């Protein structure tokens, strides 16, 4: 929460939170009509029963709702899964990543606790904004209970590349949890790209630019670099310089004394939480390398290093603390003179006024994280430079580096580069310092934390409007009842049913998508209904389709309309087509099969299909575009066309499609109920060609000519079962 509740002598004390997110969003929370749901900071065991209501009351006064967590939950959820699994993995420290099933179970249960608390306060029309890696499962937990809710999720740490993320045992569940949101935000485009790649490769959802197509909705993913409360830091710096000698802090007096004694010496500032991702040990070694190779700067620079304690009960952090203590001690012992110590080291939290002392007094900020979601310290340092002097040296691995190009950007693992950059910073003329900082300050002031929050909420609101942009309406229970009523009252009915992706789910190999007994019984029952014609209209070859439905005298149309099998009849060609072109086209497709692992050719009587469902999603799409262009050029003037289906390219006669085939069935018939359902672009011909009063249905939420859509094959069967029961 944006406040910390502490227990002192059986009294509750409330202080503001110091975390980056809590600080950043505090002003946005105060200005808006919002409820902030978060942990109180005290475990259930720490709160006496008689003070439980007081804790809730203290939170309520700040428009907050306290989630109570036990010691076991904090241990498993926060110190366990969040900080021993997700945190190291997402920062590329795979050697520190633990995969503890008990921690995972607690993480799930705490996420559920948060989701339930949200649902208690949720009202229709509310927008829900879930934050950070501790609550990755919450969006979908809310979505399951409130399908129409508008949910945003923001990840404040890096999102790793697919190759790293895939090592997480619970990768599917984590991705599905986040995909409960309508809008997913990251600090940089790199993290956004990594997330989209993982969704595409692991869950196999269709990704187009920054949109993920789920069966029931579209999820948008975007980057929103987080800013700071710029005015707060600028005003604090202005007030700082107005302080009299008596009003100055003890720290500021020490800094002033140093400046007065050695006016030519430069103070280099380093501020971080004590975390292995921040590259603190490397920074100290780089500083040692600098002094070793440039002894002329001895007594002319000092590294002022503040390390804020963090997660001190996690073993890696304890080891890091020991390593840094030893490094500082060794380097100070190695280089110190009677009047000079190279590193001033503070291991503590500092009040805000002391941070301002450091920001305003130091000449250079040296921030070298090995991996960092954003790094707001870099922005805070620049905001406090009232006279626009000062130099920021920033790791390219920090999210902030993407928008702070005027800083001196370094590779945190390159000691030589850091050393040379320190010299550049020390010797940089004031005019150049001001020129760089002027641009940085203008940008940071414009893109403050409030603008970041408002931009995200605006984008989230737009996702709710985008839901209405789809022409097709979802078949809700009310719409389903309306269609069923028309079906029951009709005198003559015809049902056009696509097969793959509609009646059955897709499989890696087409031959495995055989109809199950439930589907066979359902189609048989519909086919026997009075005044009802059932037509299975598919891109499948006639031999496979015929073999699967040989026991049921249902009408079949195969290869998008090339072949037709009427009830109790043999197959017959419905179009005058030839296949003499296939020998020229096949070798071209075979080269793409060879170059694209996981793809294969399906032979049909009068068409060839290249399947790429099992290929790497990104490579598959690239190759599909390539092949489509090559084929279109090859088959021009041959009366052929390239049909782009669901992870399949099909080359067939231009005059054959499902629209033409379905319309043929209507000639001379007086149907007063026409129903057509399908899942991909091959079915669009059917939706477009059928009469306007037809009930056309798309499977999956995609842009379509159909009037309605359903989420998946289960919903398709639900509709058909109702038809069968009421025929």
CA neighbor of 345 nearest in space, from 369, 362, 327:
327
Q: SS3 for 522?
A: helix
Catalytic pick among 498, 541, 680, 683: 498
Note whether 237 and 384 are within 8 A (CB).
yes
Return d(Cα 429, Cα 391) in angstroms, integer.
Answer: 10
CA neighbor of 536 nearest in space, from 508, 564, 562:
564
CA distances in angstroms from 577 to 514, 600, 605, 686, listed in the order given? 28, 24, 10, 20
Q: SS3 for 681?
A: helix
Which helix (H) or strand (E) segment holds residue 395: the answer is: strand 391-395
Return d(Cα 712, Cα 138) in angstroms, integer.
Answer: 23
Please, which residues bridge with residue 628 across strands?
none
Return d(Cα 670, Cα 421) in angstroms, integer.
Answer: 82
Active site residue 468: no
Neighbours of 77 (CB within 10 A): 27
Note whether 234 and 442 are within 8 A (CB).
no
Q: What stretches of 384-501 show up as alpha helix (H) in DSSP? A: 415-427, 430-446, 449-467, 477-489
Report the number of secondary-structure helices (H) and strands (E) in the chain. 26, 29
Return d(Cα 412, Cα 76) in angstroms, integer.
Answer: 32
Which helix (H) or strand (E) segment holds residue 128: the answer is: strand 127-131
Q: SS3 for 58?
A: helix
- Look at the alpha carbons of 49, 53, 58, 63 in this order and tell me if their dihedral is positive or negative: positive
Q: ∠ at Cα 351 (349, 356), nearest 5°?
A: 115
In 666-713, DSSP assigns E strands to 673-678, 695-699, 708-710
- Look at the alpha carbons of 345, 351, 352, 357 in this order and tell me if their dihedral is positive or negative: negative
Please, which residues bridge with residue 67 across strands?
39
Return d(Cα 366, Cα 390) in angstroms, integer.
Answer: 11
Catalytic residues: 498
């Amino acid at each position: 929460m944006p406040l910390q509740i502490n227990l002192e002598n059986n009294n509750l004390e409330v202080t503001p939170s110091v975390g980056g997110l809590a600080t950043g969003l505090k002003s946005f929370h105060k200005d808006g009509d919002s409820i902030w749901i978060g942990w109180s900071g005290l475990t259930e065991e720490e709160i006496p029963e008689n003070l439980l209501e007081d804790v809730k009351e203290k939170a309520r006064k700040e428009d907050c709702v306290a989630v109570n967590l036990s010691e076991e939950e904090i241990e498993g959820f926060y110190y366990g899964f969040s900080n021993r699994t997700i945190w190291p993995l997402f920062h590329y420290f795979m050697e520190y990543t633990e995969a503890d099933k008990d921690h995972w179970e607690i993480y799930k249960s705490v996420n559920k606790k948060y989701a339930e608390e949200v649902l208690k306060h949720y009202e229709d029309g509310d927008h829900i904004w879930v934050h950070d890696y501790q609550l990755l499962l919450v969006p979908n937990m809310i979505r399951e209970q409130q399908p129409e809710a508008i949910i945003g999720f923001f990840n404040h740490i890096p999102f790793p590349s697919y190759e790293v993320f895939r090592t997480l045992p619970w990768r599917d569940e984590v991705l599905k949890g986040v995909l409960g949101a309508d809008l997913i935000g990251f600090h940089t485009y790199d993290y956004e790209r990594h997330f989209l790649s993982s969704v595409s490769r692991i869950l196999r959802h269709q990704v187009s630019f920054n949109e993920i197509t789920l069966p029931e909705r579209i999820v948008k993913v975007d980057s929103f670099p987080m800013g700071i409360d710029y005015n707060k830091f600028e005003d604090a710096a202005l007030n700082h310089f107005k302080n009299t000698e008596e009003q100055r802090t003890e720290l500021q007096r020490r800094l002033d004394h140093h400046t007065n004694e050695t006016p030519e010496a430069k103070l280099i500032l380093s501020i971080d939480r004590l975390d292995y991702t921040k590259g603190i040990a490397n920074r100290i070694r780089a500083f040692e390398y600098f002094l070793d190779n440039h002894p002329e700067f001895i007594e002319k620079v000092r590294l002022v290093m503040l390390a804020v304690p963090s997660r001190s009960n996690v073993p890696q952090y304890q080891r890091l603390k020991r390593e840094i203590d030893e490094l500082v001690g060794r380097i100070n012992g190695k280089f110190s003179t009677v009047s000079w110590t190279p590193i001033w080291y503070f291991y503590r939290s500092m009040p805000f006024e002391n941070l301002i002392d450091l920001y305003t007094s130091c000449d250079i900020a040296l921030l070298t994280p090995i991996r960092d979601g954003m790094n707001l310290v870099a922005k805070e340092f620049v905001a406090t430079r009232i006279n626009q002097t000062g130099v920021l040296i920033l790791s390219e691995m920090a999210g902030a580096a993407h928008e702070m190009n005027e800083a001196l950007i370094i590779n945190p693992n390159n000691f030589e580069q850091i050393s040379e950059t320190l010299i550049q910073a020390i010797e940089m003329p004031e005019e150049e310092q001001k020129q760089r900082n002027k641009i940085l300050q203008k940008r940071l002031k414009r893109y403050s934390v409030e603008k970041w929050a408002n931009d995200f909420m605006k984008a989230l609101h737009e996702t709710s409007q985008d839901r209405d942009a789809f022409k097709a309406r979802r078949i809700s229970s009310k719409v389903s009842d309306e269609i069923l009523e028309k079906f029951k009252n009709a005198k003559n009915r015809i049902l056009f049913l696509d097969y793959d992706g509609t009646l059955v789910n897709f499989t890696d190999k087409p031959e495995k998508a055989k109809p199950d007994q439930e589907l066979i019984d359902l189609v048989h029952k519909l086919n026997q209904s009075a005044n009802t014609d059932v037509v299975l209209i598919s891109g499948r070859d006639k031999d496979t389709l015929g073999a699967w439905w040989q026991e049921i005298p249902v009408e079949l149309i195969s290869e998008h309309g090339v072949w037709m099998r009427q009830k109790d009849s043999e197959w017959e060609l419905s179009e005058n087509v030839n296949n003499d072109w296939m020998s020229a086209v096949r070798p071209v497709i075979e080269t793409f099969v060879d170059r694209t692992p996981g793809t294969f050719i399906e032979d049909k009587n009068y068409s060839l299909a290249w399947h790429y469902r099992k290929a790497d999603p990104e490579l598959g799409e690239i190759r599909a575009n390539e092949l489509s262009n090559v084929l279109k050029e090859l088959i021009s003037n041959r009366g052929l066309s390239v049909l782009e289906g669901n992870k399949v390219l099909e080359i067939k006669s231009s005059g054959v499609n499902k629209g033409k085939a379905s319309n043929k069935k209507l000639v001379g018939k007086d149907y007063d109920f026409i129903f057509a359902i399908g899942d991909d672009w091959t079915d669009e011909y059917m939706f477009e060609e059928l009469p306007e009063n037809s009930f056309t249905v798309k499977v999956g939420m995609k842009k379509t000519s159909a009037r309605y859509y359903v989420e998946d094959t289960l919903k398709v069967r639900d509709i058909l079962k109702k038809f069968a029961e009421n025929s």
